[in-house]
Structure formats: structure tokens, C-alpha cells
Structure 1
Amino acid sequence: MTSTKKQALTRHVALLRGVNVNGIAVKSADLKALFVELGFGAVRTVLASGNVLFDTDESDASTLRTRIEQALCKRFGYDAWIVLLTQKTVADMAAGYPFERIDEERHPYLVFGSDATMLDEIIEKAGAVDARLERLKRGKGVLYWECPRGESTDTPVAKLLAKTRYKSSTTTRNLRTVEKLIAG
């Protein structure tokens, strides 16, 4: 008699880059349906900015990421890039946020990356950030960023993050959104 041990399910977070902006429209219901069709369990979308929670027993993150990106491209007709992390990893990253979590004048962000060298490059190119305007700090697999409310596209770091070079490997989320992903 042989027994087959089934791999445990892991809760993942797929952070899509560039959806529902610049003419790339992906409805949450359609996004959820795609992830269900891919065979994932407990699929849930969070907000309309390309956040998907799902369970899978697949353990090769690189293969899983590629499979999801290809399916997104085929279904929605755009060059899809995601950052794929376990929910626990996202929780650990959020717990490490080094700045004030609630500030009436500033917004807290996490910049997620699928390529550590790109995160290092962003830190290097940002150089000495003017702390009176914004703050940027490297964490494990993430950048912590804080900028003035209403200026998340106008600061020097924001302009650096918007460069095409980082499009395929980084995506930014507000800390409040990240906390919803952790709770989901």
C-alpha cells in the first residue's frame, strides 16, 4: 500500500502592475474568474488595483509567476507583470514598515519587487533623499517609502519608480491596501 502525501496549500498574493490605469482595464470579477480557471483555491480580489489572494500547493514561485503572467497576457491582451509573494511574506514586510503608519501629512507605501537587484538600483539611484519631502528605506524584498499626501506621482522617488526600466519588476501599494491583503 502506497500513500501519497499532498503538498499543503499556501496563501499567495499576486500584485499586478499597471492595471486599471493607462487604458488597461481589468474587472475584478474577470480577474477572479481567471485565477479560478487556473486552478487556484479561495480566490479573492482586493480593491480594483490588481490584488489577488489565492491558495495553491504549487511550490515553484518562478514557474507559478510565469504561468499567471502568461494567462493574464492571453486573457486581457497586455504585457502582464506581477510580483508574487506568500501572504506571510507580505505580512512580515508590512510589520517591518519603519516610518509612522498613520500620519496626517504623509502616505505610507511599500514598493514590492520581483528582482532584488532592481530594488538595490532604485535605492542607489535615489541617492540621498530629502527627508523633508519623502523617505525611502530598503527592507528585505521591499522598499519602504513615505511621501506627502497627494504627491505620490510628483516626488523624485515617484518619478524614479515610474521609469520603464522598473515596470516589469516593481509595483507599489499603500500600506492600508497591504493591510487588507494581510487580513484577507
Structure 2
Amino acid sequence: MTRYAALLRGIAPSLPNNSNARLRSVFERLGYARVASVLASGNITFESDEADVPALERTIQAALVEDLGIGGGTIVRSLGELRSLLDSDPFPGLTHGRGSYLVVTFLKDGAAPPTELPDDPDPLVRVVGFDKAARAFLAVIDNSEPGQTPDFMRWLDQTYGKDITTRTWLTVQRIVKKLEAERPSSSAGSMSP
């Protein structure tokens, strides 16, 4: 069994069909194990024997549409992929906060990776890079001016449409913490050193 996080796009917790309980019920109906939620913004952790991530994304998205009418988009990452992203420390020395909003924008599995990154598209954004293994853009956004959408975020939406979803670095850390806390303490047949 593999531990996964489903990162759902366009979740509004104030809508009844977008509540964590309703979202979890979809995953449980699909037969996934150890279903849990992280925050109220569409982050569902679960366990599955399925190794085909695009198939997981399609199955989950179809069930969200059928059960709850949610068509925003589903992106799935394994615990291993997210743990590797955290371990790579792409934001060395930076602290998430006003003026240095650390974000990760995940591409849907199978979406074409960028051939080149935009050169710091505006003064509000510093593009850190693209993590191929996690299939994610990394950026630092100056959000000290409320109400302004950085050009980089518009570029992402125009280029990838619903094939992306963005999470803060703090949210990614919380998701990994939840996934690791939910792991079985030992696997059958494994030995401790």
C-alpha cells in the first residue's frame, strides 16, 4: 500500500459539498484506506494499492464530479515524492510570511513539464525552479500588496489551466507530517536495525 495526498483544486470550505467530511466520504466510497484531511482546503490523504497515479487522478476526479459536483481538478502525489521535495530544501534560509510567501504549484501527472521557466516575470515573484520529481514549480511571492495577482500565477493558469494546483510550503509540510503520522509503524516482514 502506498500513502498518497490528493490535492484538490477549487475547494471552497464554506460550500456544503466541499466540507472535509463530504470529501473524505468520496475517497472512502472508492475503497481507499486511512482517509484523512489536512486543513479545510482540499487536501485528502489516503492509502491505495494503485500505483498508476494518472488513473488515481481520473478515478478520484470522476467520483468528485459524480458524488459532489466538484469539477475543479485532482492532483495526486505519493508520500515519497512529497518527502523528497521537502528534503531538497528548495527555499534555503527563507521563512514563509508576508513578503516571502513560499508556494508550490503542482502539475497534474502527465502534464507537459516546462521547456523553460519564465525569467522572474514580475517584481512580486522570484521563480525558484521546477522540481521534476515532484512535478512542481517553486516560487517566492511578495504578497505585501493585497489584491494583486502576480503575472507568474496568471502565466501558470494560462499555460496549464486546471492541470495545476498551488499550495503554500507550510501546507505541503503539514500534508507530509499527516502522511507520515498515518503510516503503519511497521510493515509485515520488516526488521528494525
Which category of TM-score, normalised to the shorter sequence, fits these structures?
Answer: 0.7 to 0.9
Work out which of the residue numbers 86, 89, 110 in structure 2 matches 1:94. 86
One-letter code of the match for 1:106? Answer: S
Work out which of the residue numbers 102, 113, 119 in structure 2 matches 1:128. 119
CA–CA separation in structure 1 for the residues paired with 2:122 and 2:162:
28
Q: Deviation of residue 130 (structure 1)?
A: 5.4
CA–CA separation in structure 1 for the residues paired with 2:2 and 2:122:
38
Q: Deviation of residue 160 (structure 1)?
A: 1.7
Quote the RMSD (CA, aligned, Å).
2.6
Quick check: 1:109 aligned with 2:98? Answer: no
Residue of structure 2 in register with 1:147 after alignment: 141
CA–CA separation in structure 1 for the residues paired with 2:174 and 2:138:
17
Quick check: 1:159 aligned with 2:151? Answer: no
Unaligned runs of 5+ in 2: 179-193
CA–CA separation in structure 2 for the residues paired with 1:153 and 1:25:
29
Q: Deviation of residue 166 (structure 1)?
A: 2.0
Render the CA deviation track for 1:107-153: whole Å, top value 9, x for unaligned: 101111125654406x54xx211585321111111111110134585
Contact 1:70 1:80 in 2 (8 A): no
Q: 1:110 to 1:68 in 2, by over 3 A?
A: same
Q: Deviation of residue 25 (structure 1)?
A: 5.1
One-letter code of the match for 2:124? Answer: L
CA–CA separation in structure 1 for the residues paired with 2:106 and 2:124:
21
CA–CA separation in structure 2 for the residues paired with 1:27 and 1:57:
26
Residue of structure 2 in register with 1:37 after alignment: 29
Render the CA deviation track for 1:42-99: whole Å, top value 9, x for unaligned: 1111111110100111122222211111000111113241111101101212332422
Work out which of the residue numbers 57, 61, 67 in structure 2 matches 1:65. 57
Contact 1:152 1:158 in 2 (8 A): no
SS in 1 for 2:35: strand
Contact 1:24 1:78 in 2 (8 A): no
One-letter code of the match for 1:177? Answer: T
Contact 1:18 1:24 in 2 (8 A): no
Q: Deviation of residue 26 (structure 1)?
A: 0.5
Q: 1:131 to 1:156 in 2, by over 3 A?
A: closer
Unaligned runs of 5+ in 1: 1-8
